[in-house]
Amino acid sequence: MRIDTQDINRSVTISQSAVGKKIKARIANCRLPIVIGLVTRLHLCFGRQAAACLVASVFLVSCEKNINITLPPAPSQVVIEGHIETGQGAYVLVTRNSPYFSPLDTNAVLNSIIRDATVIVSDGLHTDTLPFFIDILPKPDNYLYTTYIPWYYKKASPTVIGQPGKTYNLVVIVNGQKFTSTTTMPNPVIKLDSVWFKLQPPSDSLGFVWAHLSDPAAEQNYYRWYAKRINKDKKFLAPIGATFNDKFINGQSFDFAYDRGSEPNSTAADDNNAEAGYFKIHDTVVVKFCSIDLASYNFYSSYEAAAASNGNPFGSPSNIKTNIVGGGLGIWAGFTTSFDTLVDKPHP
């Protein structure tokens, strides 16, 4: 995220480069399965540090000694990724984690999906038992290697609907093992004041989507940004760094921008050329701006930190935080959402 403020003496830039070498990977010590909706591309940005490491290795080569290490197998754990948002019913994906070095293929993807779980969502007044749902909508050509998962738990006509200020309980039972979680959708709804497209020099056609936010000073706020290009993206996508809080911007009004997110391992041309990470002039973009609770913030921010450091020889190992109780991994999140639509035109 790129931030400009008029009231703060310095600008804070929290951005992730959209240009990087995409690799197939699993996130943070096998804590997420290969098919969880948040598996994303990882960036290998070595730069000068890698060069220094290479030079050092030349001097240390004579001291090398081969060490064989047998890694213990990762314990099998249930991974839950679910959310409920304003005006919508719940969506829950239930899978098992996968060992780091296990094959990434069609069978691995299919075998990780748990189809016979009992999934229950309630708001204190109403309760929905979510059936296993198979999405029959057209699928992308490489859907088994993207975050598009056509098998999840969802009720066609739910009675439990997302509403700001309400608390939602989740119960998932897998082979007699019970997992629970609770999330609260923040209230009031915090909307962006404005959104616009701005070219990124020297390009005359590519740029970022910018927004102006007036953060309320009365409470601690946590946010997550998604965007979707009409007729180009099949779902709302969040770039790395899309989750932030108001620790340093509480009560401030400021401008900020995000690059374009993409499906992991995407084969789309504009995710593998000079347009990667950029929005393009004349794109129609819908921005979904979400307020989330602290537990959701902790999950998404720790996930992003793990994704950003994975593959970096100078990165520190990190675990992804979870709000799933009972020995499971993952997230049950409530999104208080607002939407803005813009057509990308040059902004002065």
The pLDDT tens digits of the residues spanning 177-216 come to 999 999 999 998 999 999 999 999 999 999 999 999 999 9
- Residue 114: pLDDT above 50? yes
- How far is 16 from 19, CA to CA, in rounded Å? 9
* Alpha helices per DSSP H over 310-343: none
Task: Supply the pLDDT for residue 44.
Answer: 27
Kindly provide the residue ranges of all beta strands, DSSP E only, lying in the chain, ordered along the sequence. 2-5, 78-85, 91-96, 118-122, 127-130, 132-134, 151-153, 167-174, 177-184, 194-199, 206-214, 222-229, 243-245, 253-258, 279-280, 284-291, 329-343
Most confident of 31-45, 87-101, 183-197: 183-197
**Contact 249/214 with Cβ under 8 angstroms?**
no
3-state secondary structure of 209: strand
Task: Supply the pLDDT for residue 49.
Answer: 39
- Tokens standing for residue 304: 């992003």
- Tokens standing for residue 343: 């057509």
In this prediction, residue 7 has a pLDDT band, given cuts at 50, 70 and 90, of very low
Q: Give 329's contacts (C-beta < 8 A, 6+ positions apart).
A: 31, 32, 77, 78, 79, 80, 97, 320, 322
- Residue 339: pLDDT above 90? yes
Better pLDDT: 108 or 202: 202
- How far is 18 from 206, CA to CA, in rounded Å? 13
**Contact 16/239 with Cβ under 8 angstroms?**
yes
Report the residue count for the chain.
Answer: 348
Task: Supply the pLDDT for residue 313.
Answer: 60
The whole-number average pLDDT for the span 41-64 is 40
Task: Supply the pLDDT for residue 135.
Answer: 72
In this prediction, residue 107 has a pLDDT band, given cuts at 50, 70 and 90, of confident
- Residue 23: pLDDT above 70? no
Q: Give 132's contacts (C-beta < 8 A, 6+ positions apart).
A: 115, 116, 117, 151, 152, 153
- How large is the greatest C-alpha to C-alpha distance in the chain, in angstroms? 70
Rg for the chain, CA atoms, rounded: 21
Better pLDDT: 34 or 225: 225
- Residue 142: pLDDT above 60? no
3-state secondary structure of 12: coil
In this prediction, residue 70 has a pLDDT band, given cuts at 50, 70 and 90, of confident
Q: What is the pTM of this model?
A: 0.77
The whole-number average pLDDT for the span 136-146 is 45
- How far is 275 from 272, CA to CA, in rounded Å? 8
In this prediction, residue 136 has a pLDDT band, given cuts at 50, 70 and 90, of low
Task: Supply the pLDDT for residue 133.
Answer: 85
Task: Supply the pLDDT for residue 18.
Answer: 33
**Contact 77/327 with Cβ under 8 angstroms?**
yes
Task: Supply the pLDDT for residue 315.
Answer: 63
Task: Supply the pLDDT for residue 57.
Answer: 45
- In the chain, % of residues over pLDDT 70: 74
